Amino acid sequence: MTMKKESTADKAVPPPITDIDRRQHPTVDEPTLLAAFDTHLRLTLGRSERTAQTYGVHVRTFCRYLEEHHRGVTLLDAKTMHVKAFLLHQAARGLAPASRANQGCALRALFAFLVEEDLVRHNPAEGVRLPSRGSERTEVYSEDEADTIIGWAADQDSIRWRVGHVVLATFRYTGLRLTELVTLRLDQVDLSTRRISVIGKGDKPRTVPIPPVLVPVLTDCLNVIRLALPASQFFFANPGSSPTGRYHGRYCPRSVQDLVQDAGEQAGVAGRHFPHRWRHSYATSLLRHGVDIHKVQRLLGHSNINTTIRYLHLNDADLADAVDLAFPAPGMGS
């Protein structure tokens, strides 16, 4: 018997590989996409490790937003309206313009990568107008407000706030960035010489002095509090971290953000509460107490003095005190 030759028409011709086909492919699931994007930032674009980490945090925040507010929409489905809605949502949550601009830049970079990889046809973040970074109003704590928050945390008995008090005090008296604090290792803190060795933005090392007021707080953390915490190479070991989680043995940035916000609200201090507000306050306190701005620049790890100036906000009383000190009344000067 002669077999009937299968015609081309009888064959099942697979459809072309479209965006939808790629979205269904197991090699382009969300974790794989984010890992590939991270590699692209660091190796192809030459971005620093910290920039890659920050962009990753922003993209994951966007993914959580899609999951919560646009169920069923994935990264590869996202349209311009989703990006705009996300940034508006972040503004409604009180996120500063500069932070939202950074999130928008991260999404532009992500979708540019996806376009380059032929996973999406268009960059939905490209045409979205981002907030002006210059419109940001830097917020600082007054000395009394900072004392109130630190004091409230110190009065709490739970292990969360015993560690939280140390975190807040470290922010206040060192001006560390959020990323610098959560990645701070035990071997970077030397209490005998009162020094913290930090690798800052752009992988630039700097040394941050530990003020005497902070020494007993850090000492108590090392000798007492850490006995109740998970074993870890990191100085700030999160008592609530999951043994199987990505951040076991340390804090993730979001946990510290929540800690700072909860402390500020529970202490009854007005305004928005976020880690960088403590950094602003640290810089402003230094200037108010007569520290030269170039020394402040080094303490903060800024390569450009203009960046330091943006952090320093003085009120009229500060300016009046400075003038009185420079030009004292007759008989009061040296």
Catalytic site positions: 177, 201, 276, 279, 302, 311
- Tokens 């009854």 belong to 268
Burial class (CB in 10 A: 0-12, 13-18, 19+), 135: exposed
| Beta bridge mates, 234 | 185
Helix (H, G, I), strand (E, B) or coil at 244: coil
Q: What is the DSSP string of 165-230?
A: HHHHHHHHHH---HHHHHT-BGGGEETTTTEEEEE-GGG-EEEEE--TTTHHHHHHHHHTGGGGS-
Measure the CA angle with vertex 82, ends 47 and 71; round to 5°: 110
- Tokens 């971290």 belong to 241
Phi first, then psi: what are they for 83, rounded to 5°?
-65, -45
